Protein backbone atom coordinates (compact mmCIF):
# COMPACT_ATOMS: atom_id res chain seq x y z
CA UNK A 1 0.00 0.00 0.00
CA UNK A 2 1.22 3.50 -0.79
CA UNK A 3 0.34 6.63 1.15
CA UNK A 4 0.74 9.79 -0.89
CA UNK A 5 0.51 13.36 0.39
CA UNK A 6 -2.70 15.20 -0.43
CA UNK A 7 -2.81 18.88 -1.41
CA UNK A 8 -5.96 21.00 -1.59
CA UNK A 9 -5.96 24.30 -3.50
CA UNK A 10 -8.76 26.71 -2.57
CA UNK A 11 -9.85 30.01 -4.08
CA UNK A 12 -13.16 31.82 -4.06
CA UNK A 13 -14.72 30.54 -7.29
CA UNK A 14 -12.51 27.54 -8.19
CA UNK A 15 -12.50 28.94 -11.71
CA UNK A 16 -8.96 30.28 -12.00
CA UNK A 17 -6.05 30.19 -9.56
CA UNK A 18 -6.88 26.99 -7.71
CA UNK A 19 -7.67 25.18 -10.96
CA UNK A 20 -4.38 26.25 -12.53
CA UNK A 21 -2.47 25.20 -9.41
CA UNK A 22 -4.17 21.80 -9.24
CA UNK A 23 -3.53 21.09 -12.92
CA UNK A 24 0.11 22.11 -12.65
CA UNK A 25 0.76 20.06 -9.51
CA UNK A 26 -1.01 17.05 -10.98
CA UNK A 27 1.15 17.37 -14.11
CA UNK A 28 4.48 17.85 -12.33
CA UNK A 29 3.85 15.31 -9.55
CA UNK A 30 3.07 12.46 -11.95
CA UNK A 31 1.16 10.47 -9.33
CA UNK A 32 3.33 11.34 -6.32
CA UNK A 33 0.64 13.62 -4.85
CA UNK A 34 -3.16 13.49 -4.62
CA UNK A 35 -4.39 16.87 -5.83
CA UNK A 36 -7.77 18.52 -5.27
CA UNK A 37 -9.15 22.00 -5.75
CA UNK A 38 -12.29 23.73 -4.55
CA UNK A 39 -13.98 27.09 -4.17
CA UNK A 40 -15.67 28.70 -1.19
CA UNK A 41 -18.31 30.04 -3.63
CA UNK A 42 -17.84 28.01 -6.82
CA UNK A 43 -18.61 29.58 -10.19
CA UNK A 44 -20.68 27.89 -12.88
CA UNK A 45 -17.67 27.31 -15.14
CA UNK A 46 -13.94 27.77 -15.38
CA UNK A 47 -12.76 31.13 -16.70
CA UNK A 48 -12.31 30.66 -20.49
CA UNK A 49 -9.12 32.76 -20.49
CA UNK A 50 -7.69 30.44 -17.80
CA UNK A 51 -8.58 27.42 -19.96
CA UNK A 52 -6.78 29.09 -22.86
CA UNK A 53 -3.71 30.00 -20.77
CA UNK A 54 -3.38 26.41 -19.58
CA UNK A 55 -3.89 25.02 -23.10
CA UNK A 56 -0.87 27.09 -24.19
CA UNK A 57 1.30 24.92 -21.94
CA UNK A 58 -0.40 21.65 -22.87
CA UNK A 59 -2.85 21.28 -19.97
CA UNK A 60 -6.53 20.83 -20.84
CA UNK A 61 -9.05 22.31 -18.41
CA UNK A 62 -11.88 22.43 -20.94
CA UNK A 63 -13.74 19.52 -19.33
CA UNK A 64 -13.24 20.66 -15.72
CA UNK A 65 -15.89 22.28 -13.54
CA UNK A 66 -15.65 24.29 -10.31
CA UNK A 67 -16.12 22.22 -7.15
CA UNK A 68 -17.47 23.35 -3.77
CA UNK A 69 -15.23 23.46 -0.73
CA UNK A 70 -16.22 20.86 1.86
CA UNK A 71 -15.02 20.14 5.38
CA UNK A 72 -14.19 16.59 4.25
CA UNK A 73 -11.84 17.90 1.55
CA UNK A 74 -9.99 20.03 4.10
CA UNK A 75 -9.82 17.15 6.63
CA UNK A 76 -8.36 14.81 3.98
CA UNK A 77 -5.63 17.25 2.93
CA UNK A 78 -2.12 17.31 4.34
CA UNK A 79 -1.53 20.77 2.88
CA UNK A 80 -4.21 23.40 2.20
CA UNK A 81 -3.21 26.29 -0.04
CA UNK A 82 -5.60 29.22 -0.11
CA UNK A 83 -5.70 31.94 -2.73
CA UNK A 84 -7.92 34.80 -1.70
CA UNK A 85 -10.81 33.01 -0.01
CA UNK A 86 -10.15 34.73 3.32
CA UNK A 87 -12.38 33.75 6.23
CA UNK A 88 -14.54 31.51 4.01
CA UNK A 89 -11.88 28.79 4.19
CA UNK A 90 -12.26 26.46 7.18
CA UNK A 91 -9.25 25.97 9.44
CA UNK A 92 -8.60 22.58 11.03
CA UNK A 93 -5.87 21.97 13.62
CA UNK A 94 -2.93 19.90 12.48
CA UNK A 95 -3.08 20.93 8.83
CA UNK A 96 -0.36 22.83 7.05
CA UNK A 97 -1.80 26.04 5.56
CA UNK A 98 -0.22 28.33 3.00
CA UNK A 99 -1.77 31.46 1.54
CA UNK A 100 -0.61 32.38 -1.93
CA UNK A 101 -1.40 36.02 -2.67
CA UNK A 102 -1.96 35.95 -6.42
CA UNK A 103 -3.80 38.12 -8.92
CA UNK A 104 -7.36 36.89 -9.40
CA UNK A 105 -7.78 36.12 -13.12
CA UNK A 106 -11.50 36.96 -13.07
CA UNK A 107 -12.15 39.59 -15.72
CA UNK A 108 -8.51 39.57 -16.87
CA UNK A 109 -7.21 39.08 -20.40
CA UNK A 110 -5.02 36.19 -21.49
CA UNK A 111 -1.98 38.49 -21.47
CA UNK A 112 -2.76 39.45 -17.86
CA UNK A 113 -3.29 35.81 -16.79
CA UNK A 114 -0.03 34.40 -18.18
CA UNK A 115 2.20 35.94 -15.44
CA UNK A 116 -0.13 34.54 -12.75
CA UNK A 117 -0.02 31.10 -14.39
CA UNK A 118 3.76 31.24 -14.51
CA UNK A 119 4.01 32.35 -10.86
CA UNK A 120 1.70 29.50 -9.83
CA UNK A 121 3.90 27.10 -11.79
CA UNK A 122 6.99 28.36 -9.94
CA UNK A 123 5.30 27.96 -6.55
CA UNK A 124 3.93 24.51 -7.41
CA UNK A 125 7.40 23.28 -8.37
CA UNK A 126 8.81 24.62 -5.09
CA UNK A 127 5.99 22.98 -3.14
CA UNK A 128 6.57 19.66 -4.87
CA UNK A 129 10.24 19.76 -3.89
CA UNK A 130 9.18 20.18 -0.21
CA UNK A 131 6.56 17.44 -0.08
CA UNK A 132 7.55 14.04 1.29
CA UNK A 133 7.85 11.17 -1.15
CA UNK A 134 4.99 8.66 -1.09
CA UNK A 135 5.29 6.17 1.75
CA UNK A 136 5.13 2.51 0.70
CA UNK A 137 3.67 0.95 3.83
CA UNK A 138 4.06 -2.60 2.53
CA UNK A 139 7.84 -2.09 2.62
CA UNK A 140 8.04 -0.91 6.24
CA UNK A 141 10.08 -3.14 8.53
CA UNK A 142 7.97 -5.42 10.68
CA UNK A 143 8.42 -5.43 14.42
CA UNK A 144 10.16 -8.54 15.68
CA UNK A 145 8.88 -9.89 18.96
CA UNK A 146 11.78 -11.25 20.97
CA UNK A 147 11.39 -14.67 22.52
CA UNK A 148 8.73 -15.84 20.10
CA UNK A 149 9.20 -18.85 17.93
CA UNK A 150 8.14 -18.84 14.34
CA UNK A 151 6.79 -21.95 12.66
CA UNK A 152 9.30 -23.62 10.35
The residues that are catalytic are 11, 85, 89
Residue 97's CB is within 10 A of a number of other CB atoms, namely: 14
Does the structure show a pLDDT above 90 at 131?
no
144 confidence band (pLDDT: 50, 70, 90): very low
| pLDDT score, position 134 | 63
What is the pairing mode between strands 135-136 and 6-11? unpaired
Q: Is 98 helix (H, G, I), strand (E, B) or coil?
A: strand
Tens digit of pLDDT for each residue in 102-123? 989 999 999 999 999 999 999 9
Instruction: DSSP letter for 68, please.
Output: B
**Domain spans, the chain:** 2-139
pTM of the model: 0.83
**Assigned CATH topology for domain 2-139:** Rossmann fold (3.40.50)
> Residue range 62-71: average pLDDT?
93
- The answer to whether 80 and 95 have CB atoms below 8 angstroms apart is yes
How far apart CA 101 and CA 78 sit, in angstroms, is 20
How far apart CA 74 and CA 65 sit, in angstroms, is 19
Amino acid sequence: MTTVPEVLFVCTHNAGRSRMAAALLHHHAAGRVTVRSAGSTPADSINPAVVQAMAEIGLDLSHEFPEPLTDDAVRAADVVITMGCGDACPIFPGKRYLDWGLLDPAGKTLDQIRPTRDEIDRRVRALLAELPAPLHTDCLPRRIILGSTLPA
